Each structure stands twice: as C-alpha cells, then as structure tokens.
C-alpha cells in the first residue's frame, strides 16, 4: 500500500484538519468530537442541514458545507458511520431555531446512529426531520444495507434542500423537497479497480485485469455482476439502462446528471462517459438541463465512475442555480 | 490497461467533445482543428489569453477557459504538444483587437510550436506576446525540456494574468504581470505510482512497491531520485525545501499555495499534505494567503502530488480574488 499519509489511523483527523486549514473562509472544524460546520453557523431562523457518513468519499460531505448546501458534516472513521456523540453536537451547533434536517445515506450504521442522534437532539428541544437517500439501483440489500444504498444522489439532495433552506423554507418544506429529490433520483456505478482502506492495508476486493464490476458500491460492496472490460459507450449504456427503467424516463423529461469519478479515474475518462450519456439521453428525448462531471462522491482511489440522474422541474432548477459557496461546489455571488 | 474509453486514439477528441457538452454555458469547442474558446470570444478590447499543451493533464488547460482566466485552450494529443495549425486559429479566434498572450509551459515541443504560431499570427496582424512557465525546481533539463519544466505554476499564471486582462490591462502589462508570477512561483512533485497513456497501453515507468520518485514530471519524466516510501509529513518537507531555497522564502513572506493531485490520489491525502505544508510554512514565518487543494494539473491517473508556492503582493491577491468562471475554478459573481 502506497499512500501520502502519516499514521494510517490518523488519516481522517489529519485530513479534516488540513481541510479546515485550506477552507477557513468557509468552515469551522470542531475536533473533539469531530464535525465540521459552516463558518457562520448557526444561521438564525434558517433550517439547519446535517449530513455525514463514513470517511473516504471526499469531497462528500465536508466539501459541501457552506452557504446554500450543508450546515454541518459529520465524518466517521474510514468507511464507517459517525457516532451519535458526533451527530448530536453537530445538530445542536447548526440549529438556528428553525429545526434541523438530517440527510442520511441508507447504510445500516448511518441509519441507526442518525436515528439515535435525532432522538437525543429532540430530547434537547431541537426539531429534527430525516430524509433517507437510497438512489443506487444496482442492488436491493447488500453488505451494509437493507434496501438500496445511498450514493451520488446525496450530492443533489444536499444541494437542492440546502438551497431551499437558504431561501427560508420551513423544516417541513425542506424535508418534503429533499424527499422529492430522493424520489426522483437514481444512480449506478462501475469499478475498474479497487481501493485500499489505510488501516486495512490491502485492497477491499480484487478484480482480474480484464474484468470490471457493474453496480459497485462506494465501499467496494459487490454489485450486479462482473463482466469483461468493455468500451466506455457500452459501459455507460449498461449503467443508464437500469436507471432509466427504474425512473421511467420518457421523452420530454428534463434531468440533472452527475457523472461521478470514484477517485482514481482521470477527468478525460469522465468526459468520455458524459459524451456517451448525452447521446443516450438525446436518443430517449430526455433533456440534460445541468451537468456535473468530476469527483463528488468517491471511494478513496478506486478506479471507476457512477451515473446519477435526477428528474427535475422548474423549482428544482431554480434552487440548483441559486448561489452555493462550498469547497467542492461553488457558484453565484 | 483498464480505462473508461472507446478507441484509445480517440480519447482526446471524445473527451473534449464531452467537456464541451458539459460546459456549454462557458465554452465553445472548435473540433477541426481542435481548440476550445470561452463562449463569448473574442471579447472586444480585451487582451486574449491562449494556453495549451499535451492532453492528459486535465483540468489544465480547457478547464480554465472562461471569464477571468483563459480565452482559449489548445489540447495536443496525449502528452504531446499541440501544433501551430491549432494554435494560430485559436489565437485569431480570441483576438479582440488588443493582442494575445501565449502562456507556454517549458517543453521543447510546446516552445517551438507556440513560437511558430506566434510568428504566423503576427504575420496576420495580431500582436502576440509569450510567457514561458518554468516553475519546476526538481531538475534542470530533462526528457522533454531544456531548462526547467512548467508545471503547477501554470495554473496561477493563467488565473492572475487572466484577471489582469479582464480588468483591462493592455498586452504589455498583462505579459509583464504574467512574467512577474513566473518569477515568483516554484513547484515540485512526487509520484507513488505511474500512469498509462491510452495508445501506449503500458505504464510510462515502473516504481517498485516500496519506492516513490521525488521530483517527478507531469509526464512521468525522471525526477531527482527514488527513495523508499516515507510518511506524508516527511515527503512534504522534501518537496518544500528546494522550493523554499530557490524562492528564498523568508519570514514575513506571503504566499498562495497549490497542493495538487496528480490524478489518482484521493482528496484526503492531499489535505494531509496541506496540513503538513501549513505547519512547515508557519515554522518559516510564511503566511498562506490563499490555498488550492485538488486536481488542477494531472498526469492521467498517476498517484502522487505536487506543491506550488507563489510569493504574492497585494495586487496579485486582489487579482486572484476577482471573479473567475471556468469549469475547474469558479468564484465571484
């Protein structure tokens, strides 16, 4: 294992410290227990948004803390859920009196720990709602989940719900909108090569030199099947088809797409996938209204990519386009 | 070789096409000969900025085309200089009557082809100046260069000169400022693992499992020496020391830093390097005014990182902070 790290067990703490140093204009790092808030938290009268999960998926979630997106991110150990003793103070820190929305990716540990934290925060008098992101169409149930896994759709939920909170929607409205995004978003990924968790020291799985795994999870959990390596256009079609079928995509639909890199795949390859995706959606009569192409939810240095498609309406697009100031997503004044 | 591509020889064309589709609000792709311009080019009365070089370093250069940075990017084949028949029409396309600055990384092919293109464009009546970026302190002369290589400093030259052009500086002033950035910027990189050029099909070099290469170039050219793998704090010190010595960094200096990923290194590791860099510069009494941490000038999926340090003054900082709207660097209204 070759990594630019010091102590394998200090990766999360040192990385988050470096993140806080690089983005001190946007965020504050709370070291013990570990969580990250936007610098001006709590924003009085605004619904607070908290997300979190295992580390190793950067920029998710800390890279999305800031105006127009998350108020707090709670990083767990590598590929391991954060604990209630982190989630509760993060929730308290961003409550501006209008309540807090927890955005939770559907993994067993995350679900349990966010549920516990929500109960504890409510006992402290904070109104908490939760939305569960489960956009991965690859598999029902898996190594870490009952039901579908939460993957790239999380980025879109955080952005659009964050924009709604920023414009002043109340807690029920922000939660309802976040659920509407969850209902309209689907994803699927592919791995070409595995990643290595620092404290484990060996790759999380093995792929033969001539095979890829369709439907991979962001922790290297098994997907649908292993197949021989194919060209990018064919792989893109294999990823889009189950998304399209599950969403019931039809001519005239409008979508936001995310072509996401898993961490070790160069931008040039992601843009080749985006080219293929554009052609396929054109063929379906589906209009790409906005596109993100890059590393937004990764699995350390895994080689591979995922597609996320969200069916949108005018309100979602307007929220999407509103200002966002985070380390990993930024536009508008 | 496992890559998300179709025909290995079509990687650049298909990738740039995908880039144009994803960022149609910012850029226009001119396919034959291949170059990319900002969507509103030429901007009348503004100095035009053109850069380019071999592909495989994305987001450099196309990712930096847009308001406040480059007017055009000219991508060559993978790790291969673009040709004058691309550079000349790119230069013509962005000339708004105030002349054009070529920003050239110091590689033999780039230097020759940009020189030829400048002569041809001047013969067409366009005023052209050139600035040569040669910030890599690792080696004098190398596989592709006479003198020092141009690496991460290019990103900072493009941003600051682009901001000067945007505020209305004339050609001589923009060229002089670009040169001032070149004079004040130094870089050095490290590789943990090599990359594979698609049409070559095999890694560009081999590194044993327990060794890293200090002073690596962005095409995998040899650096200073191979050493056993060390921890991130030690490696960061090894990269900073020659930069600091060459720049003559002293207490009270103010800098912009770029902690750059080579393509296959996760963000968490880059932030650990940034943490180490911050501590080292603190120890020198040097103040980090702004920081970029991420993949800005890559070598396909190479694992590794580079440090870039630019000594700045108030004018450079003001230009740095002015609005920039590109695919890979964006802030301000």
Which chain A residue has its CA at the smallest distance from B289's CA? A22
Answer whether B266 sits within 8 Å of A19, measured CB to CB: no
Q: Does B295 touch chain A (CB under 8 A)?
A: yes
Distance linking the first and last C-alpha atoms of chain A: 43
**What CA–CA distance (Å, rounded) separates B73 from B34?**
9
With beta carbons less than 8 A apart as the criterion, state whether A20 and A63 touch: no
Size of interface A-B (CB pairs under 8 A): 182
Answer whether A264 sits within 8 Å of B269, measured CB to CB: no
Q: What is the pLDDT of residue B76?
A: 98
Opening angle at CA B118, ends B187 and B311, nearest 5: 25
Q: Yes or no: is domain B10-183 CATH 3.40.50.10440? A: yes
Answer whether A2 sits within 8 Å of B269, measured CB to CB: no
Q: Does B193 touch chain A (CB under 8 A)?
A: yes
| A271-315: pLDDT as tens digits | 999 999 999 999 999 999 999 999 999 999 999 999 999 999 999
**Does ipTM come in above 0.90?**
yes
With beta carbons less than 8 A apart as the criterion, state whether A131 and A173 touch: no
| A78-104: pLDDT as tens digits | 999 999 999 999 999 999 999 999 999
Answer whether A12 sits within 8 Å of B264, measured CB to CB: no
* Angle of the B267-284 helix axis to the B232-247 helix axis, nearest 10: 50
Chain A residues near residue B303 by CB distance under 8 angstroms: 2, 264, 301
Give the pLDDT mean for B187-198: 96
Does pTM top 0.90 for this prediction? Answer: yes
Structural domain A184-331, CATH architecture: 2-Layer Sandwich (3.30)
pLDDT band for position B42 (cuts 50, 70, 90): very high
**What CA–CA distance (Å, rounded) separates A164 from A46?**
10
* Angle of the B171-184 helix axis to the B314-321 helix axis, nearest 10: 110
Tokens of B227: 């050493």
**What CA–CA distance (Å, rounded) separates A327 from A22?**
9
The Cα of B185 is separated from the nearest Cα of chain A by a number of Å equal to: 19
Q: Indicate if the alpha-carbon torsion angle A179, A183, A184, A186 is positive or negative.
A: positive
Domain range annotation of chain B = 10-183, 184-331
Chain A residues near residue B15 by CB distance under 8 angstroms: 267-269, 271-272, 275
Q: Does A15 touch chain B (CB under 8 A)?
A: yes
pLDDT band for position A66 (cuts 50, 70, 90): very high
Percent residues over pLDDT 70 in chain B: 100
Using CB atoms and an 8 Å cut-off, which of residues 75-114 of chain B contact chain A? Answer: none
**What CA–CA distance (Å, rounded) separates B287 from B250?**
10
Same fold flag, B10-183 and B184-331: no
Chain A residues near residue B332 by CB distance under 8 angstroms: 333
The partner residue sitting opposite B4, judged by closest CB among A4, A19, A305, is: A305
Is residue B325 annotated as a catalytic residue, yes or no?
Answer: no
Determine which one of B23, B57, B61, B274 is catalytic. Answer: B57
Is residue A219 annotated as a catalytic residue, yes or no?
Answer: yes
**What CA–CA distance (Å, rounded) separates A235 from A269?**
12
The Cα of A252 is separated from the nearest Cα of chain B by a number of Å equal to: 19
């Amino acid at each position: 294992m070759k990594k630019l790290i010091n102590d394998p067990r200090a990766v999360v703490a040192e990385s988050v410290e470096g993140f806080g140093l690089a983005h001190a204009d946007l965020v504050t790092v709370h070291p013990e227990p570990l969580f990250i808030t936007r610098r001006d938290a709590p924003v009085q009268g605004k619904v607070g948004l908290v997300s979190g999960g295992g580390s190793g998926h950067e920029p998710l979630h800390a890279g999305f803390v800031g105006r127009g997106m998350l108020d707090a991110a709670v990083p767990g150990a590598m590929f391991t859920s954060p604990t209630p003793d982190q989630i509760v103070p993060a929730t308290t820190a961003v409550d501006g009196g209008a309540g807090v929305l927890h955005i939770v990716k559907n993994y067993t540990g995350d679900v349990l720990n966010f549920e516990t934290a929500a109960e504890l925060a409510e006992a402290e008098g904070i109104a908490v709602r939760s939305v569960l992101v489960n956009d991965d169409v690859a598999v029902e149930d898996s190594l870490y989940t009952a039901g579908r896994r939460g993957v790239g759709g999380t980025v879109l939920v955080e952005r659009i719900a964050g924009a709604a909170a920023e414009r002043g929607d109340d807690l029920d409205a922000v939660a309802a909108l976040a659920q509407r995004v969850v209902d309209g978003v689907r994803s699927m990924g592919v791995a070409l090569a595995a990643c290595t968790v620092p404290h484990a020291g060996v790759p999380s799985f093995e792929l033969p030199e001539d095979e890829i795994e369709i439907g991979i999870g962001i922790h290297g959990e098994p997907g649908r099947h292993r197949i021989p390596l194919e060209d990018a256009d064919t792989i893109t079609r294999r990823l889009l088809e189950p998304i399209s079928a599950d969403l019931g995509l039809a001519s005239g639909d409008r979508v936001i797409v995310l072509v996401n890199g898993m961490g070790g795949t160069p931008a040039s390859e992601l843009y080749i996938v985006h080219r293929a995706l554009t052609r396929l959606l054109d063929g379906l009569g589906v209009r790409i209204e906005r596109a993100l192409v890059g590393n937004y939810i990764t699995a350390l240095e895994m080689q591979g990519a995922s597609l996320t498609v969200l069916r949108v309406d005018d309100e979602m697009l307007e929220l999407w386009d509103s200002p966002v100031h985070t380390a990993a997503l930024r536009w508008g004044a």
